[in-house]
């Protein structure tokens, strides 16, 4: 039986667990420091921690559960990792370089059940949730890579936008967020973390009640129910009206802005009339919203969709701005590697099936 990743425990949980076995609170703090500040990969390296405590930890937990399966490096500095889990499943994690720092995109599930028709991740149904430790370890694996390079760089930002629906793995997501934001550990500020959802309205409200001050992004991708249902089957169960109501609750509860993600698909949702309809949909919420326009990265698995034109991006953007909607166009990263979410994993699984 595989042991649990120690990265899945918050500091409070680790302290409580050790206390049950008669160990002092100070030992939990020391272990935490070794994990996240000194960033060791073996309990034996924690040379100032009580030996009985280390023995106990090693009997129940492991530090490393992910192994690097494939690594792709882009000319712009983006690195895409394909990690193998203890059960043999594969997940993706991406390191991106920005002017404001180093951002890591993490995965929360093995596969995805949301069913977005343009997404390579959704080709393979969800087989399980990742534990909070498996999510947190993605950050640590990237940080260990940076440590090995030796330039003193640190992960500064996190986007929870990899394979899977984060709010469909809600409790593990929350524990992960508590681990990476802990001031005694990685100390990544909550305002430097963004969680993306495809639109689980009830969880949006629950997330607002949790008051974590983490940024929220909503994958909308269409301005009306007919079109959104066509490209995102989740809209059948949770239509746009429910999402707008959930956003109103979120704004009232948190007073925080939300980013609307909008992938532009050529001749599907990228026309001026779509932009106008979107502007009208969110007009009364515009002070709380920013629209992030994302030119589509074509993938072999979804040949029915093509990349929008530069003129269409410009026209769509101009319509939104004319209606006083805060909008931007996403800067691309890793365009010379398998940039689309889930694409690298999909290709590797096809290779495995062919052999």
Contact predicate 54/46, CB 8 Å: yes
Q: Report CA-CA distances (Å) from 278 to 22, 221, 281, 295, 330.
A: 58, 10, 5, 17, 18
Q: And the tokens for 76? A: 């712009």
Nearest-10 Cα torsion for 126, 308, 347, 68:
-80
Task: For residue 229, count CB atoms less than 10 angstroms from its CB and return exposed for 0-12, middle for 13-18, buried for 19 or more.
Answer: middle
Q: Count other C-beta atoms under 10 Å from residue 100's C-beta.
A: 9
Q: And the tokens for 289? A: 């919203």
**Exactly one of 92, 134, 137, 165 is catalytic; which is it?**
92
Q: And the tokens for 342? A: 């889930």
Which residue's entry shows tokens 């680790």? 14
| H helix or E strand, kind and range, residue 71 | strand 67-73
Q: Is 9 helix (H, G, I), strand (E, B) or coil?
A: coil
Helix (H) and strand (E) counts for the chain?
Answer: 11, 14
Contact predicate 34/199, CB 8 Å: no
Pairing between β-strand 327-329 and β-strand 289-295 as defined by DSSP bridges:
parallel
Q: Is 92 a catalytic residue?
A: yes
User: What do you get for the CA distance between the two ends of the chain, in Å?
Assistant: 28
Strand partners, 289: 258
CA torsion sign for 210, 241, 318, 295 is positive
**Exactly one of 171, 226, 341, 353 is catalytic; which is it?**
341
The span from the CA of 120 to the CA of 108, in Å, is 15
Active-site annotation, residues: 92, 341
């Amino acid at each position: 039986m595989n042991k649990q990743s120690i990265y899945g425990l918050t500091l409070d949980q680790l302290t409580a667990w050790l206390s049950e076995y008669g160990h002092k609170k100070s030992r939990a703090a020391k272990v935490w420091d070794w994990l996240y500040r000194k960033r060791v990969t073996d309990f034996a390296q924690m040379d100032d921690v009580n030996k009985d405590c280390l023995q106990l930890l090693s009997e129940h937990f492991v530090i490393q559960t992910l192994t690097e399966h494939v690594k792709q490096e882009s000319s712009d500095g983006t690195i895409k990792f394909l990690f193998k889990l203890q059960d043999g499943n594969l997940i993706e994690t991406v390191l991106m370089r920005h002017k404001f720092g180093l951002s890591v995109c993490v995965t929360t599930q093995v596969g995805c059940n949301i069913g977005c028709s343009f997404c390579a991740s959704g080709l393979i149904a969800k087989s399980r949730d990742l534990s909070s430790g498996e999510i947190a370890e993605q950050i640590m694996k990237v940080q260990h890579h940076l440590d090995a390079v030796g330039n003193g760089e640190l992960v500064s930002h996190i986007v929870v936008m990899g394979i899977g629906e984060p709010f469909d793995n809600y409790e593990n997501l929350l524990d992960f967020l508590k681990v990476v934001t802990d001031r005694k550990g990685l100390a990544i500020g909550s305002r430097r973390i963004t969680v993306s959802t495809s639109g689980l309205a009830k969880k949006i409200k629950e997330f607002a009640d949790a008051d974590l001050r983490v940024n929220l992004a909503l994958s909308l991708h269409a301005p009306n129910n007919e079109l959104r249902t066509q490209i995102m089957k989740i809209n059948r169960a949770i239509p746009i009206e429910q999402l707008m109501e959930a956003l109103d609750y979120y704004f009232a509860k948190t007073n925080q802005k939300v980013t609307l993600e909008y992938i532009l698909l050529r001749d599907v949702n990228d026309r001026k009339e779509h932009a106008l309809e979107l502007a009208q949909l969110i007009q009364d919420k515009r002070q709380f919203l920013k629209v992030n326009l994302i030119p589509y990265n074509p993938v072999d698995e979804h040949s029915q969709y093509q990349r929008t034109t530069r003129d269409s991006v410009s026209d769509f953007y101009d319509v939104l701005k004319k209606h006083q909607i805060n909008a931007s166009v996403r800067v691309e990263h890793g365009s010379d590697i398998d940039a689309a979410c889930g694409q690298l994993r999909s290709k590797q699984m096809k290779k495995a099936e062919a052999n």
